[in-house]
Amino acid sequence: MKLTVNGQVGDFECQTAFQIRDLVGQENGIIILNGYQIEEDYPLAENDIITIIPKGVMPKQDELESMMMARHTPHVHERLKKGKVAIAGLGGLGSNIAVMLARSGVGQLLLVDFDLVEPSNLNRQSYYISHLGMPKTIALKKQIEQINPFILVEVKTTRVTEENVVELFSGYDIICEAFDKAREKAMLVNTVLEKLPDVKIVAASGLAGYDSSNLIQTKKVMKNLYICGDFINEAKIGRGLMAPRVHICAGHQANMVLRLLLGIEDV
């Protein structure tokens, strides 16, 4: 029967997933069948997609892509690989959004931030002690290289201003607004809507503290503008930023980006 095995289409006499695993010489390999990891043997059908992942080995680029395609819903990876997403601000939101999008296989990321990693970042941002003192752009790029070295990561270590928004973000499909301060958030959103009318922007508002996770949501507030958060709980004295809600909101933003790259514009 015709099967796709580790990204290669061919005719096989094997009738089950375990037979394919044994054929490719990975007796202890992980088996992904049509996007789902199986633990027990399973009968194969015409045009099934099966990927055998060896444990503990860094695969080649084509093998890694085959594995990512196998782990995602069929035909999703090809579309995400073509995506170009910019992330403005690499703090609790932006650093975690970037990691999620890298793990999802988005093909090109732009990381923009002017700041250095410092100790107070470690409670919620995707950095480690070894990154202290490094520009956030460089520290995050190094992390992404350890997750998926085959995607394109562009970095710009600079402060975003109204004057440089167009120069920084032109050519990207989607911009994630991930700033801390309301004034900077409004500046970026308004400038993008005015000067980059074809670009979609996914912003955030209200993610401080430890109120219910279920209050955080995603809303489409106008054409090309989506906002994630609870829209109430800003960071202030007595209510700081804590990892769980920050990560939940970052997850909302990253998931909305994936939906937009797949052509889904409703929330």
Each residue's pLDDT, cut to its tens digit, for the chain (267 residues) gives 999 998 889 999 999 999 999 998 877 788 888 878 888 999 999 999 888 888 777 777 777 777 676 667 667 888 999 999 999 999 999 999 999 999 999 999 999 999 999 999 999 999 999 999 999 999 999 999 999 888 999 999 999 999 999 999 999 999 999 998 999 999 999 999 999 999 999 999 988 889 999 999 999 999 999 999 999 887 777 778 889 999 999 999 999 999 999 999 999
The CATH number that applies at residue 59 is: 3.10.20.30
Same domain, 219 and 161: yes
Name the residue with tokens 């470690």: 122
Q: What is the pLDDT of residue 95?
A: 98
Cα distances from 8 to residues 5, 50, 52, in angstroms, run: 5, 10, 12
In a domain, 266, yes or no: no
Q: What is the pLDDT of residue 77?
A: 85
Q: Which of 66, 88, 119 is the last residue of a domain?
A: 66
Count of domains in the chain? Answer: 2
CA distance 5 to 41: 16
Same domain, 104 and 14: no
In a domain, 71, yes or no: no
Same domain, 185 and 244: yes
Q: What is the pLDDT of residue 24?
A: 86
In a domain, 166, yes or no: yes
Same domain, 129 and 61: no
Q: What string of DSSP letters covers 218-240?
A: EEEEETTEEEEE-SS---BTTB-
Range of the domain at 34: 2-66
